[in-house]
Amino acid sequence: MTPTPALAVTTPATRTTRTVGKTTTDARPRTAARPQRPGVSVRTRITLAMALLVALALTGSGAIVYVIEYDRNREQAMNEVNQEIEEFIRFQENGVDPRTGEQFEGVVPLLQIFLERNVPSPSEAFLAWYDGEALPGQDPGDDRYLGDPDFDRIVEELTPENGNRLWRSPSDGEVLIAVQSVQFEGDDRVGALVVVQELSERDALLHETMVTYAIVAFLSLLLVLVIGWWQSGRLLSPLRTLRATAERIGATDLSKRLPVKGHDDITALTRTVNGMLERLESAFSSQKRFLDDAGHELRTPLTVLSGHLELLDPASPDEVESTRKLLLDEVDRMTRLTRDLILLAKSDRPDFLRIERVDLDELTEDLVAKARGLGDRDWRHDGAPAVRVDMDRQRITQAVLQLADNAVKHTRDGDEIAIGAALSAGHVTIWVRDSGPGVPPGDRELIFERFGRGAVRENDEGFGLGLSIVRAIAAGHGGTAHVEDAPCGGARFVLSLPLRQNRPEETQSWPAS
């Protein structure tokens, strides 16, 4: 019988593989890659936001101006109407016909003479009303309002109360109608002066003004758009440079930096990004250096282990035992090497140090006491000021004991080794001096490099990492490590650390309590 082939069924959410006698379900979700949609750029959004705000401001300003001017036109028209009414009231109160010098005989002569002696402006019309009927006006054109039922009705309604009202004429647009009544004693019939003030010309001027304003506002808006587009592009230029720089940065090249220009928020962001790039470059460099160092230095002990294991004769107990001791020794060396490399890799991290306030004189005395166990030497204390400084006590102890161990390797029993500290020019210096042969000037930088070694004594199994660890600890404190000639011969290794200041109100050093 031919075996049944395996069947594979795949759905968008779950991939299930069925085999004869066995079913396996892979429930991993499979998400389709979504295409990136081009969005509106920040520059465009800023420009549109500016344009919208300016458009709203211009529109609001135009509306306010229109309302103010519209009300002002009505107020001016009302003032002109009131002026004509006041002149008519004074003329009526005088009561003397200027043609005869005698009192007016009735309402009609009063109204007719007033119309003859007062010429209305082009936007005004004077009409005389008597006993519910209109008298002909001075200007024949003023009679154009007569015969309109709405106009007649308004005049009849306003005559008893001497009021005014706005009315929209079919031919002249909106007009202001004001009525002032007059009545003689003994005459039951009532006359009235009707003043009509046309508002169309004023409204036309206001309309022209607003059209002009709209054109100027539109041109201003275009100008704002152009300036906003240019200015936003100028302000966002560092961000575009940031994007372009980020695109050029690769895993092997983190040296690109953004140009710093100006003193605004974008400049502050640029400095922050540059600082981030520097930290990333330092971190990547540290990792790369760690991998290179580990790969280089672990190759030899791994080769030794592999070679001895391949040549090992399991049937020989003596050979197994000797190989075991040799391999354990190599494992110990690899452990020490790995520990030192990890410590150097950690030296670039911000949590490498734990700063605390330390009594400097007490620290140096403890260091001398701990160093006595490193070898039979004449250990001395060069003294230290009684001050308290900020440092990582454990890291400084590690560095100084490393220097002391190095001094033991280059001296003999009974030779003098001293540890001391001092304050000078805003720095605290801690040193270890010995009476050994010293360090040649040509080796004084080499010995602080990783795996860098000068002249070494016989049976020195170091890796050349001890002094590089010392320099890393000093650099973590913002200081330096160097070697110089001791005053009485030999070498003096010096840690120079700046005095730390955690708070502005505190001084950089404190007397020890």
Does residue 35 carry a pLDDT above 90? no
CB atoms within 10 A of CB 420: 19
195 and 281 housed in the same domain: no
CA-derived radius of gyration, the chain = 52
Write the CATH number for 104.
3.30.450
93-129 pLDDT, tens digit each = 887 878 777 888 788 888 888 888 888 888 888 888 8
317 and 369 housed in the same domain: no
187-221 pLDDT, tens digit each = 778 888 899 888 888 888 999 999 999 999 999 99
Write the CATH number for 288.
1.10.287
Q: Quick one: what percent of the chain has pLDDT higher than 70?
A: 79
500 and 366 housed in the same domain: yes
Q: Which residue has the higher pLDDT, 480 or 452?
A: 480
Beta-strand runs (E) in 131-276: 133-135, 164-169, 173-182, 191-198
128 and 145 housed in the same domain: yes
174 and 198 housed in the same domain: yes
410 and 340 housed in the same domain: no
93 and 144 housed in the same domain: yes
Question: Looking at the domain assignment, is residue 18 inside a domain?
Answer: no
416 and 496 housed in the same domain: yes
Is residue 55 within 8 A of residue 221, CB to CB? The reply is yes
Torsion of CA 105, 108, 109, 114, to 10 degrees: 130
376 and 503 housed in the same domain: yes
Does residue 19 carry a pLDDT above 50? no
501 and 379 housed in the same domain: yes
294 and 368 housed in the same domain: no
Average pLDDT over residues 29-49: 69
Joined together, the tokens standing for residue 458 give: 């016989």
Is residue 163 within 8 A of residue 194, CB to CB? The reply is no
Core vs surface per residue 168-206: b (16+ CB within 10 A) or e: ebeebebbbbbbbebebeeeeebbbbbbbbbbbebbeeb
Range of the structural domain that residue 307 is part of: 265-346
Domain boundary among 190, 205, 220: 205
Write the CATH number for 497.
3.30.565.10
* pLDDT, position 294: 63
* pLDDT, position 506: 38
Question: Looking at the domain assignment, is residue 280 inside a domain?
Answer: yes
Q: Give the Cα separation of 470 and 177 in Å (integer).
A: 103
55-84 pLDDT, tens digit each = 999 999 999 999 999 999 999 999 989 998
The helix (H) or strand (E) run that includes residue 124 is strand 124-130
Joined together, the tokens standing for residue 105 give: 């005989």
Number of independent structural domains in the chain: 3
Domain boundary among 331, 346, 361: 346
Domain boundary among 291, 314, 346: 346
Comparing 38-52, 341-355, 405-419, the range with the smallest average pLDDT is 341-355
Ranked by mean pLDDT, which of 21-35, 131-145, 310-324 comes out on top? Answer: 310-324
Bridge partners (DSSP) of residue 495 are 430, 481
